[in-house]
Amino acid sequence: MKSIYFVALILFMSVGMAVAQTNPLLGEFNTPHNAAPFDKIENDHFLPAFEEGIKQGKADVEKIKNNTDAPTFENTVVALDQVARLLGRTSGIFFNLLSSETNDELQEIAQRVSPMLTAFQNDISLDPVLFERVKAVYDKKAELNLTPEQETLLENSYIGFVRRGANLSDSDKEKFRAFSTELSKLSLDFGENVLKETNGYELYIADKSKLAGLPEGALEAAAGKAKAKELEGWVFDISMPSYLPFMKYADNRDLRKELYLAYGSKSFKNNELDNQEKVKRIVELRLETAKLLGYKNYADYVLERRMATNADGVYGLLNDLYEASHKVALKEKAEILEYARKNGFEDDLMPWDWSYYSEKLKVEKFDLNDEMLKPYFELSHVVDGVFGLATDLFGITFKENKNIPVYNDEVTAYEVFDADGTFLSVFYTDFHPRSGKRGGAWMNDFKGQWMENGVDSRPHVTIVMNFTRPTETKPALLTFNEVETFMHEFGHALHGMLAKSTYSSLSGTNVYRDFVELPSQIMENWAVEKEFLDRFAKHYETGEPIPAELVQKIIASQNYLAGYLSVRQLSFGYLDMAWHTLESAYEGKVKDFEENAWKKTQIFPAIDGVCMSTQFGHLFAGGYAAGYYGYKWAEVLDADAFSVFKEKGLFNKEVAASFRKNILEKGGTEHPMILYKRFRGQEPSVDALLKRSGLVNGDETAGL
């Protein structure tokens, strides 16, 4: 007869197994490479998994706090890096789905979970016992003989505690908690409002004569949208694959204006989805948090841990590039206005005219447009080309595995292998827009990379886009801009997939925000190289390789509107810095603040009813606050870095191996400038960017 204890143990184990079987997030993932079991996960599994993850995380923390041994690097700093693995796994799955496959239920869960996660993070960073243990290790770091990666982890841990309020008084710690909790909720609300506004607009047209100028592909896609809604005619929306062709090609100026205003007015309509007060409150809370921690503004707080160091460094970069770009942008506008006048246009040139007339001038100057290029960029061929580039540079290969579960039938899962056959990563691609997917394009990971107990736990990486869909008669044919976007996000993915760090918080894309865009932006450089395009750019019907003269036209047009595009990007950087260098709360109108902040960059008059700030997810629902300049800084880095490939060979394996070893594999294990100089041999120079963009002299007319 079994003992009562044994029976109880069996019952306990059975209950535990039943819970795990009921909720796949709480058990082992019996999938290839322990990939997320999307085919078994349901919405109601998430909240219990978060609750259990936080419970386990708290137990991990208590174990560190209650350790009677003296604080060491291993029992304190490394132990903290390994806290709450279940919570991290659950968060990686949930928040990726929230961006790419959301619904009302997931959004409601996010509203409940967000304050729980913020409270858990605050419980760690504001715990005096934990901080004292970390500080004890930090104070004797000179005696520990640490590796550079260990030194970085220790410094990040100590400084992270300080920057998250560990040195505050008890009363100020409570303020910090309140600020961070409210901020997390506001950021969620902000993003949800923008997505709902995007999904809530459509332009239905029954009269085909109003659609003159639009290419066949755009019309077919719009007809498909209408058919899906059981309508006769055409439906356009403000997702990029629908919006951009309309603005470029539609002859009907009134409809271009209507679509422009719909796109530009997202969350700026004084309705329940309006973000104006949220913008001001987010900025105020960030400022109050920074002041609480001893900084005069939020930018000073953020930039202390960036390559730019401070606001002066950011403004120095923005101003230098502005001086090189602004006169060129004005000349570009003048030429496009002259062209429009010659073609019967009599009004003032407005933003909804810019893409239309600049595209027509581009065709006239270079005999090139998207419709000429798209047949050579069929999506599956582009995938082959991009994957092939990674094989040529880094020796890695991709193998589709249909046994890896995916969260939508449109998603493809791959296994990624190194040149020696070693497994590197699970890699997901998700290419087309859906109502549950936010706009834009991004890379993220469902699971990061780390080393533990001698085992290299490999990452699960995803890239998500909003590319042109296939139609009833054509496969997915990408614009050249979409090809560049693919390569950009794939560069981020390489940063994640090739990670080779010991500690999860230093792995992959866990780097300074103004360094994270280097691996992504450098990949875009290959997109205009004939030697690369010849490998995959083939006509989807005939198989004909992209003609040499068409490639030359791409190259010749590469710097078309370089001044305007530079100034446009700089305008976002100036706006970001204006919001985050405020030293007191702003009480006025968001629109007024915005117009003043970027006034010198604007080549069009201000338009009533549109606002960038209320839809600027990078700043108010993402991680780029006081950091948007990083895109321009990364352009400096990527142009400088790619010049090595240009000098030594586009597919030079030595250069590629150095870039992999010193940049892609290292993550945030050392200061980015140290890593960059190890690859490049010197600090970056702006000269390569100005030369590439045709902006060497501000008086020159880049590409005109």
Q: Are 549 and 366 in contact (CB under 8 A)?
A: no
Tell me, yes or no, if 489 is annotated catalytic: yes
Q: For residue 390, give both structure tokens.
A: 């990674």
Q: Are 574 and 616 in contact (CB under 8 A)?
A: no
d(CA 350, CA 607): 9
Q: Are 569 and 632 in contact (CB under 8 A)?
A: yes
Residues 585-610, mean pLDDT to the nearest whole number: 97
pLDDT on residue 359 = 96
What is the percent of the chain with per-residue pLDDT over 90, rounded to a whole number? Answer: 91
% of the chain beyond a pLDDT of 70: 96
Residues in the chain: 704
Residue 507 CA: distances (Å) to CA of 248, 425, 456, 590: 41, 13, 12, 38
Mean pLDDT for 248-258 is: 98
Whether residue 1 is predicted with pLDDT greater than 50 in this model: the reply is no
pLDDT tens, position by position, 287-338? 999 999 999 999 999 999 999 999 999 999 999 999 999 999 999 999 999 9
Instruction: Give CA–CA dist 169/253, Å, rounded.
Output: 60
**633: CB partners within 8 A, 6+ apart:** 307, 308, 317, 514, 517
- Of residues 6 and 456, which shows the higher confidence score? 456
For residue 15, pLDDT over 90 is answered with no
Quote the pLDDT of residue 696: 66
Q: What confidence tens digit (pLDDT) does each residue in 109-150 have?
A: 999 999 999 999 999 999 999 999 999 999 999 999 999 999
Residue 489 above 60 pLDDT? yes
Q: Are strands 423-430 and 460-464 parallel, antiparallel or unpaired?
A: parallel
Backbone angles phi, psi at 235, to 5 degrees: -120, 130
* Average pLDDT estimate for 98-112: 95
Which domains are assigned to the chain? 30-125+127-167 (1.20.1050.40), 202-264 (no CATH), 276-368+563-620 (1.10.1370.10), 374-556+630-693 (1.10.1370.40)
pLDDT at 21: 55
Q: Over 50: is that where the pLDDT of 453 sits?
A: yes
Task: Map tokens 């709360």 to a residue.
Answer: 585
SS3 call for 558: coil
Return d(Cα 500, Cα 458) in angstroms, integer. Answer: 9
**DSSP letter for each residue of 47-65:** HHHHHHHHHHHHHHHHHHH
Model confidence at 669: pLDDT above 60: yes
**Model pLDDT for residues 368-416, shown as the tens digit of each residue:** 999 999 999 999 999 999 999 999 999 999 999 999 999 999 999 999 9
Q: What is the three-state SS of 88-138?
A: HHHHHHHHHHHHHCCCHHHHHHHHHHHHHHHHHHHHHHCCHHHHHHHHHHH
CA distance 533 to 554: 11
Chain centre to alpha carbon of residue 542: 36
Q: How much is the pLDDT for 685?
A: 82
Token code pair at residue 624: 């780029």
DSSP state of 75: I
pLDDT average, residue stretch 147-170: 97
* Active-site option among 489, 524, 529, 594: 489
Alpha carbon 226 to its chain's center: 31
Average pLDDT over residues 467-488: 95
Mean pLDDT (the chain, rounded): 94
pLDDT band at 20 (very low <50, low <70, confident <90, very high): very low
Q: What is the rounded distance in angstroms from the CA atom of residue 156 to the CA atom of residue 416?
A: 30
Element (H, E) at 209: none
- CA–CA distance from 588 to each of 279, 541, 600, 612, 652 (Å)? 12, 57, 20, 16, 55
Main-chain phi, psi angles of 451, to 5 degrees: -110, 135
3-state SS track over 642-690: HHHHHHHCCCCHHHHHHHHHHHHCCCCCCCHHHHHHHHHCCCCCCHHHH
Please tell me the predicted confidence (pLDDT) of residue 688.
Answer: 82
- Structure tokens belonging to residue 532: 């690369």
Q: Enter the tokens of residue 116.
A: 């729980």
Q: Mean of the pLDDT values across residues 199-226?
A: 95
Confidence of residue 2 (pLDDT cuts 50, 70, 90): very low
Q: Which residue carries 């061929």 as its tokens? A: 381
Write 164-170 long-range contacts (CB < 8 A, 24+): 164/121, 164/122, 164/125, 164/126, 165/122, 165/125, 165/126, 165/292, 165/293, 166/125, 166/126, 166/128, 166/131, 168/126, 168/292, 168/293
Segment 163-184 mean pLDDT? 97
The SS3 of residue 56 is: helix
Which pTM does this prediction carry? 0.91
- What tokens appear for 379 in the block? 């999506």
Q: In what order do the strands lie in the sheet with 442-447?
A: 397-400, 412-417, 423-430, 460-464, 442-447
Strand, coil or helix: what is 415? strand
Return d(Cα 23, Cα 13) in angstroms, integer: 15
